[in-house]
Structure 1
């Protein structure tokens, strides 16, 4: 930072903008040396350079009219010369006779005297800028290592676009609307856990995108709270999530001495309770993974009991027809189709829930909530009428007796 500042100060007082200054500074003695560093290139006629610059200006103007920036590929065929970092060979030979194209030429510069006030101010600004850049780089590297992990942050405010801005200590993070949980309240001052989706270096420094709805947030919390998952004894094979409402997590182990579901639940539900609290009360179903797709689909649709499953493939798509008893139909589907949709996400199969009654109603995992609610409401009405009819028959039977 100091050497860069001294180079800027030299250009301000004694040099010019076309100098590519290299500085060697001795902090013990205060002595310094400076060079103008150039790469030796072939001679280029001035007319050729002017023609290339005019052509580049024309191409850039055309690109702007098309609403885009001129790409490097579009400029590759044009002759270019940068006087700050390059020197043509004829001029270079005046400085050093034994020089060839491609050589790096270091021309020592004399320092006429002390720097003036303006040069000192320039050096100060450069040092401050370098320190800020170093701090930004440090923060960027720290948070880059946190990608895919959980961090704690304090909610600050919500901006005009709906993005929630949070305080991460050294820097602020952003939670876009699509990464928020519907109906979740982000109260200023509240301390919450967030999943680090992405860390990029922007023009103003590190940009940290956080999430509360990402399905990998569930995985990270499980890894933190369940030692058997952290050390690899129990493996998460799949996650399906309806953020804020319910998640299904499929777990597996090849160690017969370990109960994968029991490991996740903990004694008296202690582990799963902690996980649910960290996810803002979102319900979590722990599913036993199975290599057999039929058994896996049955597990994924729990708590519903499945009678039998038929697998088929149509146009390259895996489809499962799942037959259930009438009293298990609505349970297999779930409120608004939540249970069947999560089971489909988890298993990778499009699932048809088939009612085994005479009506043979069907609901597909890709059906909309409106159609699902309409079908379920019809089923409830029919069930109520059936119960009412049964009750009337019983009463008539009692009267006859």
Structure 2
């Protein structure tokens, strides 16, 4: 859940102006996620000649004749190529004159939903692919969404991904029929309203043929919106974390070798939220000591201010007891100290949640012993209703209460994602079993 963000130590404003956008593709099996990313890379000149040569000679090609199988650009594992499915999250980078992109191609199989959660945890936008050929219609002509479409949309909502693009793919299989597209989008908008998703951007396309991906399709003159690449280039990604209260989980306490006369004690880490100036008053949590920033150091020298995303070393005027796992916060807006963590979790393990079992809770740089005290409710993906349950199984989503051995300084996930998220680790197997979003309301 706490994957590294892009470091912006030298010039954070340049990265913001350049407009880095992280997005993922999500959908059911064979909806065309890998092909769509391959098409984006191919049409935007984001692949090299040797890559093209490699996929043109691939033995597991799934296209007819000399047509290039663009999905092989992201399906890197041999098992993925053999089965024609995506198993692991594949990250790809490309850029247009207007923006840089980091794409995460995530699996469609329900059993790999945990991989989708990993890819979605740092995303600014999600492309929910809907395979038009798989959608069923009832007697009244209403579209019935697939369960994976609902599942991935629910995860996008829980993880608070800002932008949701609904890409109705394989329009060529229904002769680019507008009425089919309209009925699918109507069904999705009804579900999105029930779910609470707000920024929905629908688009009809064919990833295989390239319709409305990078170039506008002449076969769908009824669609007057932007192409997919134009839409991705236009999405706003405002660094709200710069306006949040200062949060700095300590990763390492740096000392000199002991042979120098001048003592040096620096606290190394990454600014997860807000900003800090030399002279700012801070509080150490969970201890509660007060301190003042003396100096902000980077590899390139001292700074007057550090902002979210930068990795720095903080020197303080006071000698206070600070260790890895503590968090330096704005004195006027501290985090909430929790001994019981209420959270939504997505269960990632094939072994179900065991109430009597002991876990480690990993939150920012802090790891504490934890035990699930209560399962408040389980979420039904189809109906979006919550019901009682005594266990959580693979890919299940539940609201739980977790008791921790030592207090955590945390924020609600809806306020600050990096300090409102955590993972649960099995104490015996050391496997990550759940990803969690802290709820304070």
Do both share a fold (TM > 0.5)? Answer: no
Whose strand fraction is larger, Structure 1's or Structure 2's?
2
Bigger helix fraction: 1
Larger relative contact order (Cα-Cα within 8 Å, sequence gap ≥ 6): 2
TM-score category of the 2 structures, normalised to the smaller one: under 0.3
- Higher Rg of the two aligned structures: 1
